[in-house]
Amino acid sequence: MKASEEGTIGIEKRGSVQVMIMTRPEYGNRVTQAMAEQALRVLEDARTDTSVSGCVLTGFGNVFCTGGDFLSAGATSEGRLAFARAFADMERAMNRLGKPLVAAINGNAHAGGFSLVTACDLAVASDTATLGLPEIAHGLFPFLALAIVKDSLPKKVLFDLVYRARMLSAEEALAHHLVNEVVPAANVMERAVQLAACSVDCNPDIISLGRDLYYNTRCSNPGEAVEQSRFALVAALKAMEEGQR
């Protein structure tokens, strides 16, 4: 694949909010291994950058993202596994961000793009956007996306989308709590940046502790979750005391 076809993650700064733009418009902003690896680095840098209070993830043009581009990985099992690892690592970096992460759904979010929306804390969708898992229409199953999306939808709704490759309208996505707001396309970015900056006046260490706790305990049993919560509370109280000095 030529370098120009691999796509890139564009970066813009809007006040204290860092905007990440999946940029591969000729391919529906489908994420390549190179894009996933770049996104991981950008997210890790944003986590430690004290000038960044939150992040927005969006797509270039009028499409959010129509999936992960496994075809760009080539025909070998090694290449395909490397692509899947990079995509999974990117979503883990989203979990580790420690700051608000908002999806600005400027257009269609399908397949892996749908899972990226789900991996964000909040989401603002264009009123013309659609969300779905159409892999079966192309002879596949949403293997990578399923790991993230499965906990965000009732089972009957999930399999309806999967088996029939049915798309959700933005309003349906709102009704299923997959997005927080539906706005005209021209207002998506402005509103997403506002939401990403919602905690700018809060203690960033406390925000990070709380967000990390959520993602670290999603698959924990109640006892483990309570134990992690106990230590997080102590750390947060210490951070609060230090901030008041």
- Reported as a single tens digit per residue, the pLDDT across 100-135 is 999 999 999 999 999 999 999 999 999 999 999 999
Whose CA is closest to 8, among 24, 25, 30? 24
Element (H, E) at 144: helix 143-149
Each residue's pLDDT expressed in tens, for the chain with a length of 245 residues: 554 588 999 999 999 999 999 999 999 999 999 999 999 999 999 999 999 999 999 999 999 999 999 888 888 999 889 999 999 999 999 999 999 999 999 999 999 999 999 999 999 999 999 999 999 999 999 998 998 899 899 999 999 999 999 999 999 999 999 999 999 999 999 999 999 999 999 999 999 999 999 898 887 778 888 888 888 888 877 887 887 76
Q: Check residue 3 and give its pLDDT.
A: 47
Other CB atoms within 10 Å distance of the CB of residue 226? 11
Cα–chain-centroid distance for residue 10?
Answer: 15
Contact assessment for residue 190 and residue 58, using Cβ atoms and an 8 Å cutoff: no
Residue 22 β-bridge partners: 9, 59
Q: Check residue 70 and give its pLDDT.
A: 84
The 8-class DSSP code of residue 73 comes to G
Say which CATH architecture domain 3-196 belongs to: Alpha-Beta Complex (3.90)
How much is the mean pLDDT over the chain? 93
Q: Check residue 217 and give its pLDDT.
A: 87
